[in-house]
Amino acid sequence: MNPANPETLSELLKTLERSGELRSLARECGLSVRELRRRLSIWRRELSAADEEALGEGIPDEATAVVAAKAKKVASRKIEKPDFPTLDRAEDLADSPLPGEGRPTMVLHTDGASRGNPGPAAVGVVFSIKGGEKVAEHCETIGKATNNVAEYRAVVAALEHCYRWRVRRVHLKMDSELIVRQLHGTYRVKSPDLRPLYQQVMFLTKGMDEFRVAHIKRAQNAHADVLANRALDQK
């Protein structure tokens, strides 16, 4: 099967389960990502034992009908992903990519991806100079993790590079509203899986002159999302 161009509905459903389009599709259908992934998994198993033309039979509700129609529509086209330039790998840079003069600020775009929640997970980071160009990238798989753990792991990975480079000013931008609010102190970190990662972020930023966190829309974080999913695709 070519995951970029599935030929059957069974292959398409499997591709959708693993794709970065799942969140937007879930919103269109009025479902949670978890519920949509559960339904896709059920349909895929049923399709493996039945003719694909039976997909539309016995649809239980309107949301399911929307997903089925969307799946058939997507089957007729190739799923395209944004094309971003390849940057220097952060782990290959011994010194900070920031200018040596003035008071430069590193801008971090981070994202985490989990296929299964929990499931195979990865992180993606884009490093930029505030007011300037993108200077480096980082992506890696992190084993099995939830979406929230992957999001936090992406932040930690980004800050570890900044710590190594002795960067003093960092602006973090991410599309996880939960983690942004936790880092702002608006939400308490109750999860035992997230608390150690939160503490790592606090340690890595403790000596900085400036550390700001901002929530952005998912579309504004597409480069980091592509990196995280690329790491999973290449696993």
* Torsions phi, psi for 160 (to 5 deg): -65, -40
Does 84 fall in a domain? Answer: no
Indicate if the pLDDT at residue 222 is higher than 90: yes
Same structural domain, 108 and 171: yes
The pLDDT value recorded for residue 112 is 97
**Higher local confidence (pLDDT), 12 or 75:** 12
The pLDDT value recorded for residue 41 is 75
For the stretch 87-131, pLDDT in tens is 999 999 999 999 999 999 999 999 999 998 899 999 999 999 999
For the stretch 139-186, pLDDT in tens is 999 999 999 999 999 999 999 999 999 999 999 999 999 999 999 999
In the chain, % helix, strand, coil (3-state, to 5) comes to 45, 20, 35
Does 226 fall in a domain? Answer: yes
The domain boundary residue, chosen from 75, 102, 133: 75
**Higher local confidence (pLDDT), 73 or 42:** 42
Q: For residues 121 and 147, what is the distance between their CA atoms, to the nearest angstrom?
A: 8
For the stretch 61-97, pLDDT in tens is 555 555 555 555 544 444 455 689 999 999 999 999 9
Q: Two tokens at 20? A: 């970065």
Q: For residues 153 and 142, what is the distance between their CA atoms, to the nearest angstrom?
A: 8
The pLDDT value recorded for residue 38 is 77
Pair 128, 81: CB distance under 8 Å: no
Most confident of 30-34, 54-58, 117-121, 211-215: 211-215
The 10 Å Cβ neighbour count of residue 17 is 19
Does 133 fall in a domain? Answer: yes
Indicate if the pLDDT at residue 235 is higher than 80: no
Same structural domain, 110 and 205: yes
The pLDDT value recorded for residue 47 is 60
pLDDT category at 33 given cuts 50, 70, 90 is confident
Same structural domain, 98 and 30: no
Sheet hosting strand 106-114, strand order edge to edge = 134-145, 119-129, 106-114, 169-174, 210-215
Same structural domain, 134 and 27: no
The pLDDT value recorded for residue 58 is 46
Same structural domain, 109 and 214: yes
Indicate if the pLDDT at residue 37 is higher than 50: yes
Name the pTM for this structure.
0.69
Does 111 fall in a domain? Answer: yes
